[in-house]
Amino acid sequence: MDADPVISVVVVDDEALVRSGISLVLDSSPRITVLAATSSKTAVDTVRQHVPDVVLVDIRMPEPDGLTILRGLMAEPAPPVIAMLTTFGLDEHVLEALHRGASGFLLKDTDPEQLVRHVLTLAAGGTVLAAGLPPERLFRSPDELAQADLLSHLTEREIAVLRALARGLSNADIGTECGMRLGTVKETVSSVISTLGVGSRVEAAIVAARAGLVPRP
């Protein structure tokens, strides 16, 4: 049996203590190798040189801030999976990051074992929203309250896939859980995203959380 693949992670944070702490936790896993960056420039340079699987970016970096770093990394020809690191939980900065292509966000005080699991989930194509997040906090505007109505246009299979997606499962794991081929999962995820009128699986997961399709942590 082949060994589990080793993934590479870049941690971007200007605070040395936080950066080294998260790096130490992740580096303790035999499945993860870690690099660190302290600024927008070093982050982009590191990503270009090492092509990591996952990049964790502090949302509250000093100028340029985490959103600017996110935009720069997402503009790369083959952008990595990016998740935001935050101390403050969900706020408008994190929501903006999610809507700009981040695959999730993590609290800096996340339990070490859970942090490793979250990073592996991200590398596998899953979505991670910090534990303890009340679904109602995901609303950005009154107009989005009506978005849940679009769920009625989804088939039972699409709802099942959306539930699994919102729990952070990768396409491969969704296929195993729902008894579907990988190609069918990809087609179904694309159909769900199109029907809901969102731009990514993260935004689809947010719609599911708003509608109560996934239980609170």
Predicted structure pTM score: 0.70
Residue-wise pLDDT tens digits, 111-157: 899 999 999 999 988 888 775 555 455 555 545 555 656 777 889 89
- The CATH code for residues 142-210 is 1.10.10.10
Superfamily for domain range 7-133: Response regulator (3.40.50.2300)
What is the C-alpha separation between 207 and 216, in angstroms, rounded? 14
User: Within the chain, which residue ranges are assigned CATH 3.40.50.2300?
Assistant: 7-133
> What's the mean pLDDT in 88-96?
71
User: Within the chain, which residue ranges are assigned CATH 1.10.10.10?
Assistant: 142-210
What is the C-alpha separation between 102 and 161, in angstroms, rounded? 20
Does the N-terminal peptide bond of residue 217 adopt cis geometry, omega within 30 degrees of 0?
no
Contact 181, 175 (CB under 8 A): yes
At 142 the pLDDT is 46
What is the C-alpha separation between 157 and 50, in angstroms, rounded? 39
pLDDT at 43 over 90: no
What is the C-alpha separation between 53 and 116, in angstroms, rounded? 14
Q: How far apart are the first and last CA of the chain?
A: 34
pLDDT at 89 over 70: no
Other residues' Cβ atoms within 10 Å of the Cβ of residue 92: 8
At 140 the pLDDT is 52
